[in-house]
A = this chain, B = another copy of it.
């Protein structure tokens, strides 16, 4: 089962806002529907958004084949639907390069983006599992944040793909999934995927992570990235930085797993990234809220970055 795909002339996605209660498939026929799905987080996760960006341009190319101005505007809407998501814009731009060759060429390119993300998940799972065994010995107990599973990609995901691979090898001793407020991607999505894979786990409130590390219940933290800056700073779901502080204080490895497409050498450091504030209503019905959706984890708190092509040991001074 794929989180996002092109089926019979439209984009099909699993509606992640309906999980874990209901497995609902949405068919998106217009750029407007796709942008709404991206902004409501019905589809989310850096790799999945890359595929969504490419398919979105394929959709625009079919709908606006005879109106170059409308087409350019539609491509721009796809590209900018979520400002932090570098993969979204990159997937869209990559498909857009084929626009002069017509809608079929754009769609073929978008399908290649999808297939490459599937292959990238498998590569990250193998590299990441090897690294964790090297860092922690066999059978580590892991903490992960947000959702980086198949639901964030196309098939098995990034950081959660590594968890899947360790489990497959018989080398996993336990998983804590932090719930990931305000939208509970951990409690809703990661827990749903782990259950589907038959992996025993516990959910914890986000603020418990650092204490569980201090108490010796965790061997490593493994999570994804929305964007990796040129200096190794990691932009990821709010709470990533707090977990990195916990890992540092407890002397634990802090491993970031993300496809090479997440690496953004055009952004020198986290200071250069605008952090999306998603407003009060996600957080509480009773008051105004500060709701930064992402945070910046400075590179010196990151042990290693695992991509589909390489392992960068920031703790040993390796650079991107």
Binding site for B on A (CB under 8 A): 20, 176-182, 187-188, 191-192, 195, 201-212, 214-215, 217, 238-239, 241-243, 245-246, 249, 275, 280, 283-284, 286-292, 295-296
> B242–A288 contact, CB under 8 A?
no
What residues of chain B lie closer than 8 Å to A206, measured between beta carbons?
181, 205-207
Partner of A204, one of B208, B214, B291: B291
User: How distant is A205 from chain B, measured CB to nearest CB, in Å?
Assistant: 4
Partner of A284, one of B179, B246, B292: B179
> B204–A286 contact, CB under 8 A?
no
User: How distant is A234 from chain B, measured CB to nearest CB, in Å?
Assistant: 12
A293 to B201, CA, bound (A): 19
What residues of chain B lie closer than 8 Å to A210, measured between beta carbons?
241-242, 245, 295
> A179–B283 contact, CB under 8 A?
yes
Partner of A211, one of B20, B280, B286, B295: B295
14 of the cross-chain contacts (CB-CB < 8 Å) are A187-B283, A187-B286, A188-B286, A191-B284, A203-B290, A204-B283, A204-B290, A205-B238, A206-B206, A208-B290, A210-B245, A211-B295, A214-B295, A245-B245
Tell me the dominant secondary structure on chain A's binding face. Answer: mixed
User: How distant is A297 from chain B, measured CB to nearest CB, in Å?
Assistant: 9
By Cβ-Cβ distance, the 5 closest A-B pairs, closest first, are: A207-B239, A211-B295, A206-B207, A181-B205, A245-B245
Q: Among A176, A275, A283, find the residue whose CB has the most chain B CB atoms closer than 10 A.
A: A283
What residues of chain B lie closer than 8 Å to A249, measured between beta carbons?
245
> B287–A202 contact, CB under 8 A?
yes
> B207–A284 contact, CB under 8 A?
no
Q: Among A20, A178, A206, A280, find the residue whose CB has the most chain B CB atoms closer than 10 A.
A: A206
> B295–A208 contact, CB under 8 A?
yes
User: How distant is A52 from chain B, measured CB to nearest CB, in Å?
Assistant: 25
> A211–B284 contact, CB under 8 A?
no
User: How distant is A170 from chain B, measured CB to nearest CB, in Å?
Assistant: 21
- Considering only CB atoms, which chain B residue lies closest to A214 in the complex? B241
| Seed contacts A179-B283, A207-B207, A211-B292; 17 additional CB < 8 Å A-B pairs | A179-B284, A187-B286, A187-B287, A201-B287, A202-B289, A203-B284, A203-B288, A203-B290, A204-B283, A204-B289, A207-B242, A207-B243, A208-B238, A214-B295, A215-B292, A242-B242, A245-B246
User: How distant is A21 from chain B, measured CB to nearest CB, in Å?
Assistant: 9
A180 to B181, CA, bound (A): 11
> B238–A207 contact, CB under 8 A?
yes
Partner of A217, one of B188, B245, B283, B290: B290
What residues of chain B lie closer than 8 Å to A202, measured between beta carbons?
280, 287-290
> A242–B246 contact, CB under 8 A?
yes
